[in-house]
Amino acid sequence: MERYWMKKAKFMNIFICCAVLAGTILQCYAAKADSVEQERDTGEWWLQKPMRLIQTNLREIDVTLDIDIYMQQINKCEPDVVMINVGGIVANYPTELEYQYRNPRLRGDFIGTLVGRLKAKGIRVIGRFDFSKINETLAAKRPEWLYKGVKGEIVNYNGQVHTCVNGGYQQEYLFKILGEAVDKYPIDGVFFNMIGYQTYDYSMNYHGICQSDACRERFLKLYGLELPTVENPDDEVFRKYQDFRRKTSDDLFRRVKDFIKSKRSDVAVCTYTDAGVDIIRNESNSAFDRPLPEWNYSATDNVRTAMCSWRNKAIGNVAINFPDYRCRHSSVSPYLTELRLVGNMLNDGWLDYCVIGTLENQEDRLVLDNVHDIFGFHAQNEQWLTGTKPVADVALIKGGNRDEYKGLFRILSEEHILFDVISTKAIGRAVTPRPLEDYQVLVLPDIRNMSNAFCARLDAYVKGGGKILATGRTSTCDELGNPLGKVRLKSAGVEATFKVRPHIRGSYLRIRPEDKKLLKDSKLDALDIVYLDSEFLECEAVETTGKLLGYIMPAMFGPPERCYYTQVTDIPGLFYSKFGEGMVAFLPWQIGQHYRNRSHHGHSLLVKAGLEGLLKLERSLVTETSPLVEVNRRVSGDGKFEWLGLINHSGQNGTAFHKSIPIRDVALKLKSKGEVKKVQLLRAGKELKFSTLEDGWIKCIVPQLNRFEIVLYEYE
């Protein structure tokens, strides 16, 4: 009995052509895992298979393009879906609406012609809209529709004026524009850019929380409060405002969905949220001002979160071609784009690639060979990429401290532990493809915000035999982020109250001989200490809880003659408790953040030993290959095959993404789900010898791994 499918979305990134709204609100949690078993509904076109999507992000000047040449270039990618700019900021069709700015270069019906040509080729079309801004000539007539900054100013950026989410344009007029486009053209989907509450312009000038009358009145009505003017997460009113943002944004998208479906149920709704959408959009992009390192796992992260959290949604995680939205005419390394596309493909996402303008006008086109290559592979191997579902051993929960999450994500990947990612928004709801009980272990990376129901759901999971590895301040805040000063997970095995030791450099944790006996990893024989570089919660164990690692008080670190510590305490850095039939390992500090920042082997080793030694994780895949090999496993819904997806992350050094270096002799031992009759390498295009061991274990060796491989196991 397996369930399926996905979803996700998080935070808000401004870069690009987009914006992501959402957050980590925990909606209604069922006290018990929903037991409704549903297969994925493949009746809708967007759920039939992972699609190949090309987005040509058309500029005003592109409405005069040569459609024959446009089609030639598009066809080289063999796309199932093309996304083009239809309306909102600029209407690329002869709109009859007073408040939609018509492209002054428009001659005839550009959208009508282009949609017709694409559809004649069997390609579906998603129309792109952007309601976050309105042309200044129209804005001047409707000031009540506009965003208002904290100084009372409107924002006019290159003639486009920011609109207010709660104003009449986004709340009402948007429906007129969408209605006109959907009535007029046989488009298959609508995509919205820059949704939600924007506080920056494209030059990254900060304008603050919208203070329009519409926002003020709605916030007052819903929360009985005046709008905050400062985005301060420590301010209770601001936390309520964040809740307001999420709820009103979600509300708008649910209304959009109802409206679109009332017109034509086969039109997909797509944007950067999970609320009310059929196709979640996310981005793997770069930005000059973003702190390094690049998040190499971006595509896997985005797609896996979506597909493991939300059944009956698809995800287009777009590989953005440019290195920064201020350099939209340049491309990132072809090998970075390749990595992003492969990450999408091997995690059941769509292939999704975006350029500014059209494919034929690209001035930095070295990447196009890589794009054609991956899109071509996808087209050739669709049968194996369609209808698969996740079967990982572990679920990493996403929705808290991003650095903590990234560090634990990378540890799991480097250790080749098969893991799904589930958004906190989906926990305990009927929307996840797999119930929590399907997983041997849940990893909670400093997941602070939890409703009481969420805590109860996790405790019930452990009581029934589940296992949790939790870190940092997990469960110490309510669902809005208000700190409660208590560890609320009863299964964590500690008293609720705790004392915070602030982040002071020079402190450590002692790994004692008795700890090593429990952690059971032979590498720990040569490791007695790890450094601590975060805050530390001093918790009290309840009676039956095991206490591991000893906190070492901040020590002198210079000069060398004075560099020794004197105080090793028995304050535990790792708790181990049995609760009901299950177990919990709790590290009351940010071990993932440590690994995210400096990749220290000791931190990684402690997490691995916590999972295997303490929690007795049983792996369904065993391999000794390089940590730079990422592994994913998918099983076909019809029980005919399964595959391991391998991604080779080598070729990267600092900010450079080069061609990956082949990795030889990747030995794989997999506990298969069926009786295997044949093993093939889809990328290398050859059959592989394998041996069958006891208990369904299948052993084989991949002789050479280039950028990626799919090791296909076909059953009898």
Q: Which residues sit at the interface with Zn ion, rule CB under 5 A?
A: 164, 210, 212, 215
Contact 463, 579 (CB under 8 A): yes
Using the minimum distance from each CB to Zn ion, give the nearer residue, 210 or 676: 210
Using the minimum distance from each CB to Zn ion, give the nearer residue, 65 or 210: 210
Beta-ladder partners of 612: none
Distance CA 300, CA 292 (A): 18
Using the minimum distance from each CB to Zn ion, give the nearer residue, 215 or 426: 215
Could you tell me which of 239, 251, 308, 304 has the C-alpha nearest to residue 275? 251
Beta-ladder partners of 189: 126, 268
Distance CA 219, CA 320 (A): 35
281-299 in b/e burial notation, b at 16+ Cβ within 10 A?
bbbbbbbeeeeeebbbbbb
Distance in Å, CB of 210 to Zn ion, minimum: 3
Using the minimum distance from each CB to Zn ion, give the nearer residue, 145 or 589: 145
Using the minimum distance from each CB to Zn ion, give the nearer residue, 157 or 288: 157
Neighbour tally for 511: CB within 10 Å: 23
Using the minimum distance from each CB to Zn ion, give the nearer residue, 147 or 310: 147
Distance CA 5, CA 416 (A): 23
Distance in Å, CB of 215 to Zn ion, minimum: 3
In three-state secondary structure terms, 476 is: coil
643-662 in b/e burial notation, b at 16+ Cβ within 10 A?
bbbbbbbbbbeeeebeebee
Using the minimum distance from each CB to Zn ion, give the nearer residue, 155 or 279: 155
Using the minimum distance from each CB to Zn ion, give the nearer residue, 215 or 351: 215
Neighbour tally for 117: CB within 10 Å: 16
Distance in Å, CB of 244 to Zn ion, minimum: 11
Using the minimum distance from each CB to Zn ion, give the nearer residue, 164 or 584: 164
Contact 150, 208 (CB under 8 A): yes
Distance in Å, CB of 239 to Zn ion, minimum: 18
Distances (CA, A) of 565 to 397, 556, 600: 37, 7, 21
Distance in Å, CB of 66 to Zn ion, minimum: 42
Distance in Å, CB of 166 to Zn ion, minimum: 5
What tokens appear for 52 in the block?
A: 């190949």
Distance in Å, CB of 408 to Zn ion, minimum: 37
Give the contacts of 383 (CB within 8 A, at least 6 positions apart). none
- By DSSP bridging, strand 124-130 and strand 189-193 are parallel
Using the minimum distance from each CB to Zn ion, give the nearer residue, 249 or 370: 249
Distance in Å, CB of 212 to Zn ion, minimum: 4
Per-residue DSSP letter, 108:
S
Distances (CA, A) of 677 to 359, 687, 715: 43, 11, 5
For helices 236-263 and 174-184, the axis angle rounded to 10 degrees is 30
List strands edge to edge, sheet with 621-622: 621-622, 663-671, 697-705, 690-692
Distance CA 4, CA 38 (A): 7
Contact 2, 389 (CB under 8 A): yes
Per-residue DSSP letter, 659:
P
Beta-ladder partners of 206: 200
Using the minimum distance from each CB to Zn ion, give the nearer residue, 167 or 445: 167
Distance in Å, CB of 209 to Zn ion, minimum: 8
Distance CA 541, CA 543 (A): 6
Distance in Å, CB of 194 to Zn ion, minimum: 14
Reply yes or no: is the peptide bond before residue 559 cis, omega within 30 of 0: yes
Using the minimum distance from each CB to Zn ion, give the nearer residue, 195 or 494: 195
Using the minimum distance from each CB to Zn ion, give the nearer residue, 164 or 591: 164
Distance in Å, CB of 571 to Zn ion, minimum: 48
Distance in Å, CB of 146 to Zn ion, minimum: 8
Using the minimum distance from each CB to Zn ion, give the nearer residue, 212 or 424: 212
What tokens appear for 26 in the block?
A: 């925990």
Distance in Å, CB of 163 to Zn ion, minimum: 8
Could you tell me which of 456, 444, 357, 351 has the C-alpha nearest to residue 395? 444
Distance CA 690, CA 711 (A): 11
Distance in Å, CB of 227 to Zn ion, minimum: 9
Neighbour tally for 141: CB within 10 Å: 10
